[in-house]
Amino acid sequence: MLDVSDLAVSFGEQSVVSSVDFSVDRGSLVGLVGPNGAGKTTVLRAVKGTLNPDTGTVRVDGEPISDRSAKAVSRLVASTPQGTSLSFDFSVRQTVEMGRTPHLGRFDRMDDGDRSAVETAMERASVAKFADRPFTSLSGGERQRVLLARALAQETPVLLLDEPTANLDINHAVRTLELVRTLVGDGKTAIAAIHDLNLAARYCDKLVLLAGGGICAAGRPADVLTSDTLRDAFDAETLVTTQPGTDAPLVTPLADRETVDRRIHVVGTGKPAASAVSTLVGAGCRVSVGVVPAGDAAAERSRDLDCEAVTVPAFAGIDDAARERAVELAQAADAVVIAGETGDGNSPVVRAGGTCLAVETDESDYTSTTHDTVPLAALPASVASLPPASERDATLPLNQSTTD
Q: Which residues bind another protein (CB under 8 A)?
A: 45, 48-50, 69-75, 77-79, 81, 84-90, 94-95, 98-99, 101-102, 104, 106-107, 109, 136, 154
CB neighbourhood size of 146 (10 A)? 28
Query: H or E element: which one contains 355?
Result: strand 355-359
Q: Minimal distance in Å, beta carbon 150 to another protein?
A: 8
Nearer to another protein, 94 or 120 (CB): 94
Q: Which is nearer to another protein, 180 or 349 (CB)?
A: 180
By DSSP bridging, strand 55-60 and strand 2-11 are antiparallel
Give the sign of the dihedral formed by CA 226, CA 227, CA 229, CA 233. positive
Pick between residue 162 and residue 296 the one whose CB is nearest to another protein: 162
At closest approach, how far in Å is the CB of 196 from another protein?
24
- Closest to another protein by CB, 106 or 315: 106
Task: Determine phi and psi for 206, rounding to 5 degrees.
Answer: -145, 145
Cβ distance to another protein smaller for residue 103 or 286: 103
Q: Can you tell me whether residue 70 is helix, strand or coil? A: helix
Torsion angle of alpha carbons 26, 32, 38, 42, nearest 10°?
40
Measured at the CA of 142, the angle between CA 137 and CA 147, to 5 degrees, comes to 100
CA dist 260 and 277 (Å) reads 13
Angle (CA) 254 255 261, round 5°? 80
Q: What is the CA radius of gyration of the chain?
A: 28
Cis peptide before 291 (omega within 30 of 0): yes
Kindly state the DSSP code that residue 353 receives in the 8-state scheme.
Answer: S
**Cβ neighbours around 171 below 10 Å, total:** 9
Residue 368 and residue 334: Cα distance in Å, rounded?
20
Minimum distance from CB of 124 to another protein (Å)?
Answer: 18
Q: How far is the CB of 106 from another protein (least distance, A)?
A: 6
Gap between the Cα atoms of 374 and 338, Å rounded? 10
- Distance of closest approach, residue 90 Cβ to another protein, in angstroms: 6
CB nearer to another protein: pick between 81 and 380: 81
The CB-of-129 to another protein minimum distance in angstroms stands at 20
**Least distance in Å: CB of 101 to another protein?**
5
Complex with another protein: residue 140 or 375, whichever CB lies closer: 140
Q: CB-based contacts of 350: which residues, under 8 Å, 6+ apart? A: 267, 330, 336, 338, 342, 356
Give the residue with the Cβ less far from another protein, 146 or 285. 146
CB of 284 within 8 A of CB of 259? yes
Task: Rank residues 134 and 284 by Cβ distance to another protein and give the closer one.
Answer: 134
Least distance CB 57 / another protein (angstroms): 18
At residue 66, what is the residue type?
S
* Nearer residue to another protein within complex by CB, 80 or 288: 80
Cβ-in-10-Å burial (0-12, 13-18, 19+) of 228 comes to exposed
Minimum distance between the CB of residue 103 and another protein, rounded to whole angstroms?
9
Smallest distance, Å, CB 144 to another protein? 13
